[in-house]
Amino acid sequence: MDFATIDAIHLNFNPGGLTALNAVIGLMMFGMALDLRVDDFRRILLSPKAPAIGLLAQFVLLPALTFCFTLYLDAAPSILLGMILVAACPGGNLSNVMTYLAKGNTAVSVSMTAVSSIAAVVMTPLNIAFWGSLNPETEPILRAVSLSPLEMLKTVFVILGLPLAAGMLVSKQWPKLVDKVRHPFKVLAVLVFLGLIVLALAANLDIFFEALGVVMLAVLLHNALALSTGYCSGRLARLPDRDVRAVTIEVGIQNSALGLILIFNFFGGLGGMAITAGWWGVWHIIAGLSLAFVWSRKLPEK
């Protein structure tokens, strides 16, 4: 499949399905927030170095390095913009579990997830608009859709900010009830989300698999760049080994679900972007669990 064909693809997602997808990602964020406490934010004030390095890598270094990467990668403009968009997203929901499995500092991971989800309300739209407009290959796409960072900010706030605040409030007010429903609620939200994505792709299955071969290598290299950015940032800052592991996984595991929502809301399901974000959601789990397995067999350095 050539670049022009990929850029011309638009995955079909009817308005009702899009509304349901927005609602489900909000429920996923609500479920994640049930695990958060005010102490997670207070911990950053007491030990700010590791979370600060991680957030710098997440929202400054990774988008900038991704932009540089897309300047030299021979791929369709929609794939390049999809990579920039994924790099602008906050850490994914599975990063905390992977950090635990990797014998990393779970407290740092949870703190970073909480703060990055809030920071993403502003930083995600800003990074997409800024870096996407600087690349001569992707700038025409942004111009064609008349992307409004303010409108995207509102969408991200509704999808991330409100559910996050609501989840923390419910967790504080009804802790016993939350202890009972936390796990099944999160599992149900993820299963419903996966079901909606499968339904969306089922209508475009031939297109998805035809373009996937073009996307796979780009996503593999991009994810390796993200993990390396987190790891090198932690090492250069001389963080303890457990903190380095947490930062590495947090930067390398992106909230590609949010990326898909933005692609369907603002880019009409543009094929190269949607397939890139969708495969990112699969690959980063494989890469993250593989890295966690390797680290789980090696005790962190003191």
Side-chain-side CA neighbours of residue 36 (13 Å): 30
Q: What SS3 class is residue 157?
A: helix
Side-chain-side CA neighbours of residue 145 (13 Å): 23
Q: How many domains does the chain have?
A: 1
Query: Can you give the pLDDT at residue 14?
Result: 59
Q: Report, in this order, helix, strand and coil percent for the chain, each rounded to 5.
A: 80, 0, 15
First to last CA, the chain: 50
- What is the four-CA torsion angle of 55, 40, 175, 185, rounded to 10 degrees? 20
From the centroid of its chain, how far is CA 293?
21
Residue 302 lies in a domain: no
Query: Which residues constitute the domain of residue 230?
Result: 3-296
From the centroid of its chain, how far is CA 124?
10
Residue 47 DSSP code:
S
Question: How many beta carbons lie within 10 A of that of residue 105, not counting itself?
Answer: 25
Strand boundaries in the chain, DSSP class E:
none
Separation between Cα atoms, residue 257 and residue 32, nearest integer Å: 13
Question: Which CATH number goes with the domain that contains 194?
Answer: 1.20.1530.20
Separation between Cα atoms, residue 232 and residue 209, nearest integer Å: 34
Question: How many beta carbons lie within 10 A of that of residue 277, not counting itself?
Answer: 27
Residue 81 lies in a domain: yes
Comparing CA positions, the residue from 141, 281, 278, 268 lying closest to residue 205 is 278
**Per-residue CA distances from 300 to 203, 243, 244 (Å):** 46, 9, 10
Residue 70 lies in a domain: yes
Separation between Cα atoms, residue 239 and residue 269, nearest integer Å: 40
Residue 301 lies in a domain: no
Q: What is the pLDDT along the chain (302 residues), one digit of tens a residue?
A: 555 566 666 666 556 666 777 777 777 777 777 777 776 677 677 778 888 999 999 999 999 999 999 999 888 899 999 999 999 998 877 788 888 889 888 888 888 887 888 888 889 999 999 999 999 999 998 888 777 778 888 888 887 778 888 888 888 788 787 777 777 776 776 677 667 666 666 666 666 677 777 788 899 999 999 999 999 999 999 999 999 999 999 999 988 888 888 888 888 778 788 888 888 888 888 899 999 999 998 888 76
Rounded to two decimals, the pTM is 0.85
